[in-house]
Amino acid sequence: MSTPKRPIYIISYTSPLFPAHWSLWIPSSYNSLTKTPGTSGKRIHVTGDALNGFTHEFSRNYDIDDDSRAKTIHFISWVEAVNVVDGDDAGDPVEDVVATDKMEEWALKVEAPGRSLRGVEEGLKSRVQVRNCQSWLREFVGKLVEMGIFDEDALEKVDAVPKN
């Protein structure tokens, strides 16, 4: 008997000027006949900026149709359903940093990027490696692949997601 699985996506909020913001998205419902996700679910991501640093955030009861930003959605992998707990879809959107399931616990184990840009007043002492939500999400997916949670090709799919 096969274990029930849930689809996992990346939402890429596109921008012509700045790096796209990436969020891992787990829809609360999935229509296996039409192979389409519902519009409500949970986002797992880090928020902030490279100048000040990032923090983890879980957005529950998040409806992608309520967000007017330009975005693309990309399937990344399947995960066993036992690793995901849904919010109350009838409830209001909630954002917090308290893990309620395995996916969120694993996300917290990947450190959110700290400050990676320097202000002008600090001068140019050396080249910096800018870390952001994209680098964090790629590292998170990489850890899930290493653990055998995500499919082996998940990192290739992440690398194909638009970066702007």
Classify residue 138 by its DSSP letter: H
**Radius of gyration of the chain from Cα atoms?**
16
pLDDT reported for residue 91: 74
What residue type is 131 in one-letter code? R
Higher pLDDT, 127 or 98: 98
User: Which of these, 69, 73, 68, 81, lies nearest to 32 by C-alpha position?
Assistant: 81
Q: What is this structure's pTM?
A: 0.88
Could you tell me the two tokens for 134?
């994209």
What pLDDT score was predicted for residue 119? 53
Closest listed residue to residue 106, CA positions, set 75, 132, 80, 71:
80
Q: 89 pLDDT exceeds 70?
A: no
How large is the average pLDDT for residues 5-21? 93
66 token code pair: 């309520």
Is the pLDDT at 110 greater than 80, yes or no? yes
Of residues 131 and 11, more confidently modeled: 11
Neighbours of 161 (CB within 10 A): 19
